[in-house]
Structure 1
Amino acid sequence: MKFTLKAAAGAMLATLLTTAPVLADSFTFRIGSGHPKGPAPYVTTMSDFFAVEVKKRVEEQTDHTVTFVEAYGGSIAGVAETLESVQQGILDFGGYCICFEPSKLFLHNFPYYLAFGPQKSSDAIAAARIVYEENPWLKETFETDYNQVFLGLGVWDNYHLGTTFEWSEISDLKGVKVGGAGPNLAWLEYIQSIPVQSTLPEGYLALKTGVYDGWLMVPSAYNGFKFYEPAPYYTLIGFGAMPVIALTANKKTMESLPEDVRAIVLEVGAEWEERNGAAMDKVQDFGLGKLAENDAVIKTLPESVRVEWAQSLEAFPKAQVADAEGRGFPGKAVMQGYIDAAKTVGHEWPVEYPLD
């Protein structure tokens, strides 16, 4: 009797195994950034487009389901910790400004080394994409050195300068402490301002308490973080839009995914990049409009003063090329590539920076 029952049970199990459909998988991903959603537009698009579209397409096009645990504003990783958190698998997906990785991603910061570049975010990201395509090393570095898959480029809109006081000449900024993030601090050193390494989340209090009296920042973030309250003077200089945001995925996470899910992640990452330029052009206009509504004092720097500032930086790109080459990186190829790519998308440089 026992034998008969076991045999029957075995036959039933065999039937189930041969006729049951393949079980679908449910994936839970941790996605994060050191910047908060809202004031930092690239984080907003990570949440409202990338996470939403990956979930939607996976569930519409495959048998699998996806849940995103979103951790922005430094709740898992700060602005200078996100690359490492993705590398270690603490985050499955991360978005971060390359500016906070001046050593690990030194040459990836090339747009910062060439100030007064493309003014529109859409032009800047188009030019940077040309450079990435011509120099595959830029993309491959994320995988070979930092255990992550590069999904797409993001961009900051055009950089200008906010201050606690009104100014009109470069000499007015001599000796003035100004906050910034990483590579853009050199824009201040060459005019003898005093650069202060800082981050957006700490900027408001620092301006309020006089730690520094200015901030190099794009309109959207300057408005979003309410810097116009302690520093209401916002001068339009046009240092350029900066395509220095990376959206990446942990390599082990990507390799563990079914091929159809992995393809969707790559597809949405590429579309996230494509949307960034035009979206940030709108954000620039929106940010300037909101600053005006919030009673910021906005003025445009005269072109002659702007050219003077650009001329003061002539030695900077050359120095960065030499530094990059000394580290074994293709500094000249990448930076000359960006100068040329910017021209391709219609940009006219106020100064032809020498790289030799």
Structure 2
Amino acid sequence: IEGYAGSIASVAETLEAVQVGMLDIGGYCTCFEPAKLFLHNFAYFVPFGPQEGESGVRIARQVYDEHPWLDDQLRDNYGQFVLGLNGFDNYHLGTTSPWDSVSDLRGVKIAGAGPNLPWLAYAGVIPVQSALPDGYMAMSTGVYSGWLMYPSSYFAFKYHEPAPYYTLIGFGATGGASIVTMNTRSLERLPPEVQEIVLEVGRDYEVTVAKMLDERQAFGLDSLRAAGATVRTLPEEVRREWAESLADFPRNMAEEAESRGMPGREILRTYIDLVSQSGYEWPVEYSVE
């Protein structure tokens, strides 16, 4: 039995559905578990990171491999095994009205998934946590005036109709922000040779979806332009200023994780270093010391 788009469990219920065995396998964004999976959102805590999904997922896998705590917490606390990592393509900003400078966004209500809403703090935006299915109606009726979203879903949910102004900011592709897990009891009930196949397919899944993320980014942008949306790129100097305003954000999130008994400094330091080693140049120098 397969279920999609929350037909069996909503985006905020999938972790629990896998935990209790309602689902054998579930795929979900860690962003919808800001308390239980706080540190699994590490890519959200370091904005303006890798711009390609393939790079983001590959680096997230390295972080998981170097820090077994991430797997262990899901297995020990929530009874599930991580089969594979996914992520999201590069985040940008869509709005119902055009804007010329960052100051134009001050006091404007913008929606997002949750962990990425602090990215908007520099602009003085009023952040609103929301879910994708609610966005079209909410922007059409003025509940809020924009969405912090990657282009593939921005187009798929037809956000360009109520909010046709899409600004390429490049907050980064969040590798590892989406995961596929399997109930540990369900996995252990399988014959050893089948378990091996399931785990192998999980790793193959990572490679496949990572490539698809970049394809989706290109398709989403092309589709938005073809649909008549206004797509523009934020000037690099403004982007750099935006990044500098968030220079302390990774450190603050690392300290918050530590206060929850999680290895925040180690994991965020590893992530930042691995991104740098990949050849990507951060627009700002982050430190979690």
Do both proteins adopt the same fold according to a TM-score greater than 0.5, normalized to the shorter chain? yes
Match of 2:84 in 1: 152
Letter in 1 for 2:213: M
1:138 matched to 2:44? The reply is no
Question: Secondary structure at the residue paired with 2:171?
Answer: strand
Q: CA deviation at 1:315?
A: 2.0
- Code of the residue aligned with 1:230 in structure 2: it is P
Matched, 1:97 2:43: no
Q: Which residue of 2 aligns with 1:262?
A: 195
Q: Given that residues 178 and 193 in structure 1 are in contact (C-alpha distance below 8 angstroms), is that contact kept between their aligned partners in structure 2?
A: yes
1:48 corresponds to which residue? none
Q: Which amino acid aligns with 1:277?
A: A
One-letter amino acid of the structure 1 residue matched with residue 132 of structure 2: L
Q: Which runs of 5+ in 1 are unaligned?
A: 1-68
Displacement after TM superposition at 1:265 (Å): 0.9
SS at match of 1:239: coil
Given that 1:92 and 1:250 are in contact with CA atoms closer than 8 Å, whether structure 2 keeps it comes out as yes
Q: Say if 2:24 and 2:183, in contact at 8 Å, map to a contact too.
A: yes
Counterpart in 1 of 2:279?
346
Q: Higher Cα Rg: structure 1 or 2?
A: 1
Tell me the distance in 2 between the aligned counterparts of 1:89 and 1:133: 26
Give the secondary-structure state (helix, strand or coil) at the position aligned to 1:238. coil
Partner of 2:235: 302
2:283 and 2:92 map into 1 onto residues whose CA distance is: 16
Deviation at 1:208, TM superposition (A): 0.6
Deviation at 1:314, TM superposition (A): 1.4
CA RMSD of aligned residues (A): 0.9
CA contact (8 A) 1:126 1:345 kept: no
Matched, 1:334 2:267: yes
Offset at residue 192 of structure 1 (A): 1.3
Tell me, yes or no, if the aligned pair for 1:94 and 1:247 is still in contact at 8 Å: yes
Q: Could you tell me which residue of structure 2 aligns to residue 70 of structure 1?
A: 2
Q: Match of 2:152?
A: 220
Q: Which amino acid aligns with 1:101?
A: E
Counterpart CA distance in 1 for 2:144 and 2:156 is: 19
252-261 vs 223-232, which moves further: 252-261
Match of 2:100 in 1: 168
Q: Kindly report which structure 2 residues correspond to 1:12-27, keeping only aligned pairs within 5 A, or say none.
A: none
Q: Give the counterpart letter for 1:206 in structure 2.
A: A
Q: Distance in 1 between matches of 2:225 and 2:198?
A: 39
Offset, 1:84: 0.5
Point out where structure 2 has 5 or more consecutive residues left out of the alignment: none
1:280 and 2:223 aligned = no
Aligned to 1:124: 56
Structure 2 length-normalised TM: 0.98
In the TM superposition, what whole-angstrom CA distance separates every residue of 1:89-110 from its partner, at most 9, and x where no partner exists?
0001000000000000111101
Secondary structure at the aligned position of 1:96 is classed as strand
TM-score where L is the length of structure 1: 0.80
Q: Distance in 2 between matches of 1:255 and 1:185?
A: 38
Distance 2:199 2:59 in 1: 21
Q: Which residue of 2 aligns with 1:185?
A: 117
**CA distance, structure 2, for counterparts of residue 177 and residue 280 of structure 1:** 28
The one-letter code sitting in structure 2 at the alignment partner of 1:192 is: G
Q: Counterpart in 2 of 1:355?
A: 288
Contact 2:136 2:159 in 1 (8 A): yes
The code of the aligned residue for 2:28 comes to: Y
- Structure 2 CA distance for aligned equivalents of residues 263 and 127 of structure 1: 24
Contact 2:269 / 2:287 at 8 angstroms: preserved in 1? Answer: no
Report deviation, 1:190. 3.6
Shift of 1:73: 1.1
In the other structure, the counterpart of 2:251 is 318
Checking the alignment, whether the CA contact within 8 Å between 1:180 and 1:215 is kept in structure 2 is yes
Deviation readout 1:151-208 (Å, 9 max, x if unpaired): 0100100000000011122111110000000100111134310000001111111111
Tell whether the 8 Å contact from 2:152 to 2:220 is kept in structure 1 after alignment: yes
Aligned-partner Cα distance in 2 for 1:82–1:189: 29
Identity of aligned residues (%): 55
Matched residue, 2:43 = 111
Structure 1 runs of 4+ with >3 Å offset:
none
**Deviation digits for residues 95-135 of structure 1, max 9, x if unmatched?**
00000000001111011010000000011111111111111
Following the alignment from structure 2 to structure 1, what is the Cα–Cα distance between the partners of residues 274 and 181? 24
One-letter amino acid of the counterpart of residue 324, structure 1: A
- Counterpart-to-counterpart distance in 1, 2:110 and 2:146: 4
